[in-house]
Amino acid sequence: MKPPHLTTELLIQKFVRHLAIFAGVALIFLMLLIVYAVVMRYIFNSPILWALDCARVGLVVLVFFGLAYCGLTGGHIAVDFLGAFAAPRTVQLSDIIIRSICFLLVGLMAWQSMVQGLDALDLGEGTNELEIPLFPFFAVAALGSVAYCAVLMIQVKRAIRGQVLDDHGES
C-alpha cells in the first residue's frame, strides 16, 4: 500500500489530468464552433452572433482547466539561474520559499475570482448576446486556480523531500 502523502499526490494528479481532458473537449468545441460560424456566414449568409458568446466562455474553460496541467508537467516558463550556480541545498530552500509564494498568489487569485464571481452573480452579469451568466465561469476560474494551488502544494512537498523541480516552457 502507498503512503498517504503519495495517495494524495496521485489523486491530485488524476484530478488535474481530468480537468485537462475537459479543457481538450473545450478546445474541440471552440474549433467546431468557429468553423460553424464561418460556414453559416459564408455559405448560408446567416451570421450567428451567439457564437462569440459561446466561444468566450469556452475559452475560459480551456485556459483555467489547463492551468494546473501545465504546472504539473513543468510547462510554466522559469529562468534557471540559481540551478546553474548555487549548491543543491540552496536551490532546495529557494524552491520551498518560491513555490510557497506561488501557492499564496494563485490561492489569492482563486479567492478573488470567487469574489468577482459573486459580484457578477449580484449584478446579473452575462455575455452580450445570449446573456449566459458569467458567475459559473468565474467559478471555473476559481476551480482551475485551486487545482493549480494543489499542484504547487505537491511541488513544495517534493522540494522539502529534496526533489529537483523543473519548469521549462516552450517558444
In the complex with other proteins, the residue whose CB is nearer, 9 or 61, is: 61
In the complex with other proteins, the residue whose CB is nearer, 9 or 51, is: 51
What residue spans of 43-81 are helical by DSSP H?
50-72
Binding mask 48-77 for other proteins (x = CB under 8 A): ----x--xxx-xx-xxxxxx-xxx-x-xxx
Binding mask 88-127 for other proteins (x = CB under 8 A): ---x--xx-xx--xx--xx-xx-xxxxxx-----------
What residue has cell string 478546445?
Answer: 27
**Cβ pair 66, 23 in contact under 8 A:** yes
Range 2-41, binding other proteins (CB under 8 A): 20-21, 23-24, 27-28, 30-35, 37-38
What residue has cell string 480537468?
Answer: 19
Cα-based distances in Å from 93 to 84, 151, 163, 171: 15, 18, 11, 29
Cell numbers for 47, please give them.
Answer: 451570421
The contacts of residue 57 (CB under 8 Å, 6+ apart) are: 127, 132, 134, 137
In the complex with other proteins, the residue whose CB is nearer, 8 or 82, is: 82
Strands (E) located in 60-143: none
143 binding other proteins? (CB under 8 A): no
Residues forming the site for other proteins (CB under 8 A): 20-21, 23-24, 27-28, 30-35, 37-38, 42, 52, 55-57, 59-60, 62-67, 69-71, 73, 75-84, 91, 94-95, 97-98, 101-102, 105-106, 108-109, 111-116, 137-138, 141, 145, 165, 167-171
